[in-house]
Amino acid sequence: MVAYEVNLETPQYSVPDAHRVAVSDYPTHMMEIPPSRMFLIRDALKAYKTKYGADAVTYDASQGDGGASLPGVPREILERALELQLEHGSAYDQPFGTVQFRKAAAEKYWQLDAASGWTGDNIVFTQGGRDGLQKAYSAMISLGAKEVGSALVVSRVPWISYHWGPYALGLNVLMAPGQPEDGWRYTPEAIRACADFAAREGRKVAGLVLTSPDNPTGRTLTTGEQIELAQVALDAGYPFVLLDWMYHWVTDGGHSDLNAVLQAFTPEQREKLIVLDGLTKSLGASNVRSAHILAGKKVVSYIVSQASHGVVPSYFGQAVAIAAYEMGYERAAASIIEPTRESRKVLRAALDAEGVRYIMGDGYYAFIDCTPYIEAGGLTDSEALLTHLGENHGLAIVPGIYFSQAGANWIRFSYATPAERTAGAVKRLFEGLHALQK
């Protein structure tokens, strides 16, 4: 705490005048942040069961939770995590987690190369991916843009929480140019255009979010593509690039190579990289709340300082991760990776056979263009299609309009289920779509 003159006779701020937060009424002009509309999905399936009976078979292709639709965390990992928790006790840990977690993540999981300059000290445990993202956004504001109202650049059809998580902290989310025929893929030109666009409005850019595999589209970027786009962003003056790798183990090509990425940048540039990873998707550990951030020392120091006054991580999520890393992560995550890989084959074959336009790389999702069916049925958009498919065909999907207007006629179809369930779900999908054309 900075020392300053104390006056016990009057009210007094806790920090000196030069460090006080300036008055701004920007919260009065913000949109109300909407709650999740996932309840509409449940309501549609409930209506189907009311119509066809409580035992009627339904399919949930809206799932982003392998712990609900696939086996989730293996029992032996949870049992080992419990052992670790009992050994560890229940006292507070450090705001970064524990040295034990940092060591396991750096050495067993990432196998960090000394040439990268990064060690366990570059790792901060977080209470799930959303907590990690909020901490990363806060660091971008305080260490990079240094002002609210700056722009966070995301893809043209971003994950729902990319809209509202940053916005709640005072960032304006700026969707990059992109075309559906390219899977709304970032281009170097689009990244530069966003920086120029923000500058013309008198705004700074706080950072760029790169997600691969992507939610909602499933689009996958190679390591080389991610390096190229990150380099373009840094050269264009972006203070930070966030690599969201929550789905990177659930792929056909294998997990991302962090060492290769780090060594493609100079030591100075590495300080501007933030990597998010965790157990949510690849281990089906949604309610374990286990994720972590890797970043440069200034970002780590900032996040640790803030966490000491906010969310101090619990130990059990770290213990589950440590147990999975000890086992060997590919083996630990096999119960999610393998059925998802088989489902991916089933779904891709079915979509190709129908001749629909779709985007599908890796991860959990395919993004399917339903424009011909929406138009044939006289529907307004993909939210109306959700109601039709759920109430009349017992199939839950996520409307693309939930992500952005650019995806208004598209749907996110999850194949994070056993292959036979995916086959049943895609059969219902086309039954429902073809019914609109009659």
Q: What is the pLDDT of residues 144-203, one digit of tens each?
A: 999 999 999 999 999 999 999 999 999 999 999 999 999 999 999 999 999 999 999 999
Query: What pLDDT does residue 240 have?
Result: 98
Percentage of the chain with pLDDT > 90?
93
Q: What is the pLDDT averaged over residues 413-426?
A: 98
Torsions phi, psi for 23 (to 5 deg): -70, 130
pLDDT of residue 35: 83
Higher-scoring residue by pLDDT: 343, 1? 343
Q: Give the model confidence (pLDDT) of 264-311 as tens digits.
A: 999 999 999 999 999 999 999 999 999 999 999 999 999 999 999 999
Q: How far apart are CA 316 and CA 319, in angstroms?
A: 5
Which of residues 4 and 2 earns the better pLDDT score? 4
Nearest to 223 by CA among 253, 184, 194: 253
HSE-CB for 168 with a 13 A CA cutoff:
13
Please report the pLDDT score of residue 226 as a whole number.
Answer: 97
Domains of the chain: 38-72+334-435 (3.90.1150.10), 75-332 (3.40.640.10)
- What element of type H or E holds 126? strand 123-126
pLDDT digits (tens, 9 = 90+) for 83-108: 999 999 999 999 999 999 999 999 99
| Residue 7 pLDDT | 84
Q: What is the pLDDT of residue 5?
A: 78
Burial 143-180 (b: 16+ CB within 10 A, else e): bbbeeebbbbbbbbbbbbebbebbbeebbbbbbbebeb
Query: How confident is the prediction for the chain on average, in pLDDT?
Result: 96
Q: What is the pLDDT of residue 43?
A: 86
Output the six-digit token pair for 326.
């000890």
- Pull the structure tokens for residue 152: 């966070």
For the segment 229-236, the average pLDDT, to the nearest whole number, is 98
* Distance (Å, whole) CA 371 – CA 357: 10
Residue pLDDT, tens place only, 315-371:
999 999 999 999 999 999 999 999 999 999 999 999 999 999 999 999 999 999 999
Q: Tally the C-alpha atoms within 13 A of residue 48's C-alpha that lie toward its C-beta.
A: 25
- Return the pLDDT at 1: 55
Q: What count of other Cβ atoms lies within 10 Å of the Cβ of residue 69?
A: 25
pLDDT one-digit tens code per residue, 3-13: 667 889 999 99
In the three-class reduction of DSSP (H, G, I as helix; E, B as strand; rest coil), residue 219 is classed as coil
Q: What is the pLDDT of residue 186?
A: 96
- Cβ-based neighbour number of residue 33 at 10 Å: 10
Q: So what's the pLDDT on residue 331? A: 97
Neighbouring C-beta atoms of residue 68, cutoff 10 Å? 14
Instruction: Return d(Cα 208, Cα 176) in angstroms, integer.
Output: 10
Structure confidence at residue 329 (pLDDT): 98
Count how many Cα atoms sit within 13 Å of the Cα of residue 134 in the half-sphere of its side chain: 15
Tens of pLDDT, residues 32-70: 998 877 767 888 899 999 999 999 999 999 989 999 999
| pLDDT tens digits along 62-73 | 989 999 999 999
- Tell the residue number behind the tokens 């990150």, with chain if given: 230
